[in-house]
Amino acid sequence: MNRQWIYTAAPEGKLTTDIFELRKLDVPEPGPGEVLVHNRYFNVMPGNRAYMHANLIHGPYSLHAGQPMVSTAVGEVVSSNDPGFAPGDVVQAMSAWQDYVAVPAQNLFKRDGAHSVEHYIGLLGQTGYTAYFGLLHAGRPRAGETLLVSAAAGGVGSAVVQLGKIAGCRVVGVAGGPEKCAWLEQEVGADATIDYKAGDLAEQLKQTCPEGVDLFFDNTGGPVLEAALDAMKNGGRIVLCGNTAQYDSDKPMSGPKGVPLTLILKDLTMKGFAYGTYWDQFGEADRNYSSWLEDGQIKPFYHVIEGLGQAPSALVGVLGGANRGMTMVRV
């Protein structure tokens, strides 16, 4: 039997679990050139909600009513009609919230199995790659710089905080609530934090970054991005990685007031970024994460939710800021 979560309708306002419907089908037969994969873990991240904005997001990530809910996943090959894959292989794919999936071989990414499986949906998967290439390739941090990270307690953010420390930056994390801030400072290694729910972002930015921000890794957009523009140093860089302030709403937001004038006056660069651009360099991220995991420079912060049935509520939880670290569902 193959359980499958169907996306039935675009949410009106905030996501609720009732727009998903669990369907039970037979396990699919892989067609010519296809591989049958038994999913083990899915990624659950704010980006999943972004796919529901079919008016904004085009191409393969655009989600339409009636489709299985898409997500990256890691699993094991059950049977294969492609000579490159054999039963038992560990594979990653853009997949869906379901037990089994038949995937064209060229859409699969075979892993060497050197790590426990959850790493391939965590640090060595979409979330970890996003942090790695976004910070280190798009952002190019230098030792001694002040790095500001929004949604710092999230999956991407908590990895960026750690990567920023490895790069020698002073890292300031923005998160919602005192518990997350304490966790970031005590467990993840942030040098300072800003609780955006405590208000007066501008004043908090002045206090925590008195000399300004060199590099801002932004996962949220919205009021945090607007306030951060005023806190940038001249010549500063902003990596735009996510827009979580916008995803869980059906009202398009206007952009931050400082665009374009603050960017002109301060000679700022803003770079939108998606991890897929760097697909031919994933091996570099794998090697470095493996070495940092081994010597303890990076800690995996995985929030594992048990059971395919919990996927919709896991996503609602992520959007509401319920979780810390990288959230994944174990099938």
Q: What does the binding site for a second copy look like in residue numbers (CB under 8 A)? A: 50, 56-57, 218, 221, 225-226, 240-243, 246, 252-274, 277
Between 138 and 308, CB nearer to a second copy: 138
* Lookup result for tokens 């060229």: 106
Between 41 and 273, CB nearer to a second copy: 273
Determine how β-strand 20-25 pairs with β-strand 2-7: antiparallel
- Name the 3-class secondary structure at 19: helix
Per-residue DSSP letter, 253: P
CB 240, min distance to a second copy, A: 4
C-alpha to C-alpha distance for 65 and 52, rounded to whole angstroms: 9
Q: Which residues contact 87 (CB under 8 A, 6 or more apart)?
A: 76, 77, 78, 79, 80
CB 268, min distance to a second copy, A: 5
C-alpha to C-alpha distance for 110 and 98, rounded to whole angstroms: 19
CB 243, min distance to a second copy, A: 5
Between 189 and 236, CB nearer to a second copy: 236
Residue 251: CA atoms inside 13 Å, Cβ hemisphere, count? Answer: 5
Between 69 and 238, CB nearer to a second copy: 238
In 72-200, alpha helices (H): 126-132, 155-166, 178-183
Q: How many Cβ atoms sit within 10 Å of the Cβ of residue 157?
A: 31
C-alpha to C-alpha distance for 81 and 249, rounded to whole angstroms: 42
CB 251, min distance to a second copy, A: 11
Between 107 and 249, CB nearer to a second copy: 249
CB 157, min distance to a second copy, A: 15
CB 216, min distance to a second copy, A: 11
Between 116 and 254, CB nearer to a second copy: 254
Give the phi and the psi of residue 247 in degrees, each rounded to 5: -60, -45
